[in-house]
Chains A and B, each alone.
Chain A
């Protein structure tokens, strides 16, 4: 998968599971203020992304630093690279 494909898969999964508007899915969008998610959604977001991308997310530090949708993309791309490097 290319980075663009991964980003689009992340966006599609989040739009579907959290009933978001596709038009709001821009990298600068703040996940709490603009997308309307809250801290309760974080674990569900992890579950959604794990399912969609077939990766394991066990990274509290990385998750804590997420502020925007762009941060999620970078976080996931990084995880994907780590997973591929291992396999």
Chain B
């Protein structure tokens, strides 16, 4: 079967690329090595508990927000039910040793008020900081949805974007505005959402991530699993073929040297006149003869650095037989906890960032587990599969961790499984100390290490977001020298859910023309 376009990789960027290509009338197939699409975002269910793996919450999902409009653009908005996070405290940052505690309310106005109240001396600097975020995001490709008549050449910019992406990192902007102390910590904390350090991340990229979260924070009913389900449903309706368990081993070229098709590990060959690869750029290089790209381009891709590594502990809350929960929380959902309530229910719609002790670097992956930054997310209960069975929401704990370096495992007396168990226990005990309300019913379900991330994320060293976005590091753009061959994925445009969709828009814009993609976006408004 011959297709117009093949998309390699069924993550968010691949599924979005395929949907957009189908929207432009192309016959499209998606090729994915995993048994199911988007394994990173899909989460998993064990013993009737749903655990989020890659999708914890999203910014810009308010009606008319950047992500909301993108869901409409992709045609999946109708399929998804948005669930707002706590309006007064979607993210809570705590430094236990110092009694420092701040909760982010939703919306720039409320956040501004809360921060002004806490840091009255930095009022002006903060206003300037927010203004700079909103100013620079307007220049990001495919970020703002322009209204008809407004000239906007977002994707088409002839500029290489060097000044936008490589002028300032986050640290420089905070220094310039003389923002220090705890306020600086609060404005840096969301670096966890892109995996680059404040001293590395281009301010434009950081702004493009936090702008959405400063406006609103939501999840979907059914979480990441519902998101993937919606994408796949619409994909099928558009007639896109999805080949899972097909690992691309080689990219075939035509006699003229253009893209011609792919060979998979199971012997299947698929032909097409074009392709969007969402693979890790370094994995992509291995599928092509070296002569296709200039050596300087190959060297550039081979040297790309990875975003932060992490260890992730998945926990569930079990009912304690015969005990009264006795839960006391700042925020009660509904009335008192009934028989069916679990302590985790009170935390759903809230994330926690527990900081290392003072004087320690916030994102240091080498701190002991007891001190490292700890991010906690509580998946919403109430998702269900097609059989209609009810799921409890699990707890996801993410901690920065050293990268996985294949072949350089430190030999210890503990086996890999024992080390994982030890990590899980240490983190569990720390969580119970920090949030005693969760109580002894909190149990470790399983642990993902950087080695797990390397496999599931197909990232070189087990990072959270694949290739890092960093001032001075030139990530690849959508267009390549190989005719018909385009790149998408978090490495190209920006990290996260929105970054993945943006990368798809840029790749498809490269194929059909950015003016046609812009026209599609204008139709959404």
Contacts and interface: CB of A to CB of B under 8 A. Distances in A.
Pairs A-B, 3 closest by C-beta atoms: A60-B159, A60-B163, A17-B296
Contact of A41 (B294, B295, B474): B294
A61 B157 CA distance: 12
Contact of A17 (B160, B294, B479): B294
Nearest to A51: B296
A46 to B, nearest CB: 7
Nearest to A37: B294
A43 B480 CA distance: 12
A58 B296 contact: no
A9 B296 CA distance: 17
Interface of B: 158-164, 166-167, 294-297, 300, 472, 474, 477, 479-481
A19 B158 CA distance: 25
A59 B297 CA distance: 20
Interface residues of A, number: 20
Contacts of A64: 158-159
Contact of B474 (A47, A60, A63): A47
B163 A58 contact: yes
B87 to A, nearest CB: 40
Contacts of A39: 158
A18 interface: yes
A47 B160 contact: no
A46 B162 contact: yes
A41 B160 CA distance: 10
A40 B478 CA distance: 10
A59 B300 contact: no
B294 A58 contact: no
Contacts of A41: 294
19 contacts: A17-B294, A18-B294, A18-B296, A40-B477, A40-B481, A43-B477, A44-B297, A46-B162, A46-B474, A47-B474, A56-B472, A58-B167, A60-B159, A60-B160, A60-B161, A60-B162, A60-B163, A63-B159, A64-B159
Nearest to A56: B472
A40 B510 CA distance: 12
Contacts of B472: 56
